[in-house]
């Protein structure tokens, strides 16, 4: 029997037969054909520039375990390269290459001046103690340092599936131990760090928040919504979110705060469904208390978790794993808009089925780019060695106070206390980060939409996003002198 691809094993479906990297390249090819890209340039952009495969020993209990890991730098057209590190026993080279390529296109789409990269450590973090995980992370970092695969000017990792700010702090500390004496920008070697270790406020929620800003912008275009039989705005939309982790939880929270109704949540062990909506904070609290979303009193628990994808809703946000929408279930999806919170949640074949049904697919490389956008802000903070807003905050406050006082004098009346407090609220670092993120998501969506309008053969947003991204990478290579 043919061996199942790792992505198929991971998502538990039998339909994801095209390897992930090939699937990313199929989407690329569709876009490069639409824009009649030079074949040599297309080959250059698609290929992974550096693939580093490592096997390293780590003492685990009384045994020495040999751990497989990767770091892939997909494109050096801009440096540093950037991308998360996935801790998963299903991770493999093909997956890391695919995710690194997606990072290149993602950074270009949202105008983050980095090349794409990705890392993977082939372990199930649940099988290790915190001390063992720290040893694995530090050893992995040392291996990256050895071959110059990490550094604020070279390659900057971040969290991904199975890793978080704790691991990023260990990476930063290991890098500083080796390089701190010679690299004043050393803290910029990794992003997604805790605030006290050089992180930036707003990073934890950034990807989910970006999903919200992106979808808000998507549904704001009345003519696009009309084609789907929807009205503009989030307010009357019913939304299902699959995956209630970092991306899914924050996306659901902000989408609900934005006025939509969350009717479904899918997790690994079960799903929740209530056509009248459920309170996201209450679900979050229930999970903190019981360890699962199961039996949340405000919704029906569905034992077959993947059936949540097929329930009626306006917007479906898969925010857990890749290839969860495949040839076997694409036809059963009822959502009119699918916003990809996760990386690669729709297989290439499934997307063709969805597009024929008239579903608007908002692609991962745009919609989940909030994380890398705010990572870019964190990196800027690290290399500029100052918190955002520190220099101008007090001056802004003084100027606004003078302006408000003058307005009151001119109008001959005082603002109410609430209005005055609102006007005189100085921007915090988090306000600035969120504002930069919202602006980035709005600008990038309009560039993608513009590419779709410029190329008649770009019939879907993924192809348009690839075009918007490829155009920028093409310009970089042309200006570097590789292509006329
Ligand atoms: P996470 O580990 O915080 O959350 C994933 C959630 O999905 C967990 O709650 C997990 O229990 C759940 N899950 C696992 N298997 C499932 C299944 N079969 N059905 C439903 N739920 C399941 O990970 P994350 O950081 O939220 O990442 C999720 C996805 O988003 C990944 O594809 C990742 O690459 C992508 N992404 C993450 C970021 C980021 O900043 N964290 C940025 C861009 C893209």
- DSSP track, 276-310: T---HHHHHHHHHHHSSSTT-TTSEEESSGGGGGG
Question: Quick check: is 175 in a domain?
Answer: yes
* Residue 409 lies inside a defined structural domain of this protein: no
Q: What is the CATH number of the domain that holds 90?
A: 3.40.50.10860
DSSP state of 72: E
Asked whether the beta carbons of 115 and 79 are under 8 A apart, the reply is: yes
The verdict on whether 118 is a catalytic residue reads: yes
pLDDT at 484: 65
pLDDT tens-digit series, residues 243-266: 999 999 999 999 999 999 999 999
264 and 161 within one domain: no
- Token representation of residue 281: 């904070």
Element (H, E) at 24: helix 20-34
Return the structure tokens found at 390. 């520190």
Query: Is 106 contained in some domain?
Result: yes
Alpha helices in 180-271 (DSSP H): 203-218, 222-227, 246-257
The protein residue whose alpha carbon is closest to atom 32 in ligand 1 is 342
Name the catalytic one among 78, 106, 118, 238: 118
172 and 145 fall within a common domain = yes
Whose Cα sits closest to atom 33 in ligand 1? Answer: 342
**Pocket of ligand 1, candidates 11, 98, 241, 247: which has the most ligand atoms within 8 Å of its Cβ, to mutate?**
247
Question: For residues 262 and 284, what is the distance between their CA atoms, to the nearest angstrom?
Answer: 13
Same domain, 169 and 265: no
Which residue among 346, 367, 388 closes a domain? Answer: 367
Q: Which domain holds residue 104?
A: 50-197
| Of residues 279, 280, 266, the one with CA closest to residue 316 | 266
For residue 111, give the nearest of 478, 474, 473 by alpha carbon. 473
In the prediction, which pLDDT does 10 show?
Answer: 43
Q: How far is the CA of 176 from the centre of ligand 1 (A)?
A: 29
Q: Is 212 in the same domain as 342?
A: yes
CA of 364 to the centre of ligand 1 (A): 13
Closest CA to 368 of 199, 170, 159: 159
The verdict on residue 342 lying in a domain is: yes
Task: Give the residue whose CA is nearest to atom 15 of ligand 1.
Answer: 268
Q: Report the pLDDT value the prediction gives residue 297, as an integer from 0 to 100.
A: 97
Q: Going by DSSP bridges, is the β-strand pair 300-302/315-318 parallel, antiparallel, or unpaired? A: unpaired
**pLDDT score for 348:** 86
Using pLDDT thresholds of 50, 70 and 90, give the confidence band for residue 6: very low
Domain CATH code at residue 267? 3.40.50.720
Distance CA(351)–CA(360), nearest Å, equals 10
- From 203, 245, 287, 311, mutation site for ligand 1 pocket: most ligand atoms within 8 A of C-beta: 245
- Does residue 172 sit within a domain? yes
State which ligand 1 atom lies nearest to the alpha carbon of 271: 20
291 Cβ neighbours under 8 A, 6+ residues apart: none
How many Å lie between the centroid of ligand 1 and the Cα of residue 343?
9
From the alpha carbon of 247, which atom of ligand 1 is closest?
26
Does residue 293 contact residue 272 with C-beta atoms inside 8 Å? yes
Residues 189 and 237 both lie in one domain? no
Shortest-distance Cα residue to atom 9 of ligand 1: 245
Number of structural domains, the chain? 2
Q: What per-residue confidence (pLDDT) applies to 1?
A: 31
Nearest residue (by CA) to ligand 1, atom 11, is: 268
| Percentage of residues in the chain having pLDDT higher than 70 | 96
Q: Are residues 128 and 251 in the same domain?
A: no
pLDDT in tens, 472-483: 999 999 888 876
pLDDT of 319 higher than 90? yes
Contact 429, 201 (CB under 8 A): yes
CA–CA separation, 174 and 349 (whole Å): 43
Pocket-forming residues, ligand 1, beta carbon under 6 Å: 159-161, 207, 242-248, 266-268, 305, 319-321, 341-343, 368, 371
Nearest CA, atom 20, ligand 1: 267
Whether residue 214 is found in the same domain as residue 189: no
Residue 303 inside a domain? The answer is yes
CA 196 to ligand 1 centroid distance, Å: 25
What tens digit of pLDDT does each residue of 85-119 get? 999 999 999 999 999 999 999 999 999 999 999 99
Structural domain ending residue among the three candidates 197, 217, 243: 197
State the Cα–Cα distance between residues 43 and 97, nearest whole angstrom: 15
| pLDDT tens by residue, 27-62 | 899 999 999 999 999 999 999 999 999 999 999 989
Q: Do residues 226 and 133 both lie within one domain?
A: no
| pTM for this predicted structure | 0.92
- Put the strands of the sheet holding 81-87 in their side by side order: 50-60, 63-73, 115-121, 81-87, 155-159
At residue 4, does pLDDT exceed 50?
Answer: no
Residue 91 shares a structural domain with residue 124: yes
Instruction: Give distance in angstroms: CA of 244 to centre of ligand 1.
Output: 7
In a domain, 385, yes or no: no
Q: Write the secondary structure of 98-151 as one string of H (helix), E (strand) and C (coil).
A: HHHHHHHHHHHHCCCCCEEEEEEECCCHHHCCHHHHHHHHHHHHHHHHHCCCCE
Q: Tell which of 315, 337, 367 closes a domain.
A: 367
């Amino acid at each position: 029997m043919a061996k199942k691809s790792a992505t198929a094993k991971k998502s538990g479906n039998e339909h994801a037969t095209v390897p992930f990297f090939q699937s990313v390249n199929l989407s690329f090819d569709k876009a490069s054909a639409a824009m009649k890209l030079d074949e040599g340039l297309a080959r250059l952009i698609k290929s992974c520039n550096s693939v580093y495969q490592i096997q390293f020993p780590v003492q685990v209990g009384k045994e020495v375990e040999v751990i497989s890991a990767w770091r892939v730098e997909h494109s050096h057209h801009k440096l540093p390269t950037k991308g998360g590190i996935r801790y998963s026993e299903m991770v493999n080279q093909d997956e890391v290459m695919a995710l690194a390529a997606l990072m290149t296109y993602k950074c270009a789409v949202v105008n983050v001046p980095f090349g794409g990269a990705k890392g993977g450590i082939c372990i199930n973090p649940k099988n290790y103690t915190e001390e063992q995980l720290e040893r694995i992370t530090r050893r992995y970092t040392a291996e990256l340092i050895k071959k110059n695969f990490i550094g604020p000017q070279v390659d900057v990792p971040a969290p991904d599936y199975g890793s978080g700010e704790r691991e990023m702090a260990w990476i930063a500390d290991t890098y500083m131990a080796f390089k701190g004496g010679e690299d004043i920008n050393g803290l910029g070697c990794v992003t997604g760090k805790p605030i006290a270790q050089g992180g930036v406020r707003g990073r934890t929620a950034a990807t989910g928040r970006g999903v919200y800003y992106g979808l808000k912008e998507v549904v704001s275009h009345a003519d696009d919504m009309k084609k789907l039989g929807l009205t503009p705005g989030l307010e009357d939309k019913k939304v299902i979110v699959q995956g209630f982790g970092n991306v899914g939880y924050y996306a659901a929270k902000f989408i609900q705060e934005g006025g939509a109704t969350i009717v479904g949540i899918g997790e690994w062990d079960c799903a929740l469904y209530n056509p009248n909506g459920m309170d996201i904070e209450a679900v979050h609290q229930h999970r903190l208390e019981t360890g699962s979303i199961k039996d949340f009193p405000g919704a029906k628990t569905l034992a077959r978790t993947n059936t949540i994808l097929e329930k009626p809703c306006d917007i479906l946000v898969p925010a857990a794993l890749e290839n969860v929408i495949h040839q076997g279930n694409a036809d059963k999806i009822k959502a009119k808009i699918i916003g990809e919170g996760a990386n690669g949640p729709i297989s290439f074949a499934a997307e063709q089925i969805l597009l024929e049904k008239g579903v608007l697919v908002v692609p991962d490389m745009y919609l989940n780019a909030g994380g890398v956008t705010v990572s870019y802000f964190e990196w800027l903070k690290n290399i500029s060695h100052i918190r955002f807003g520190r220099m101008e905050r007090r001056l802004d406050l003084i100027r606004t106070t003078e302006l408000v006082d003058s307005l009151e004098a001119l109008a001959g009346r005082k603002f109410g206390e609430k209005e005055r407090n609102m006007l005189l609220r100085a921007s915090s670092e988090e306000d600035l980060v969120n504002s930069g993120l919202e602006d980035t998501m709005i600008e990038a969506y309009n560039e993608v939409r513009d590419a779709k309008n410029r190329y008649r053969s770009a019939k879907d947003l993924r192809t348009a996003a690839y075009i918007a991204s490829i155009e920028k990478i093409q310009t970089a290579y042309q200006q570097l002198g590789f292509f006329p």
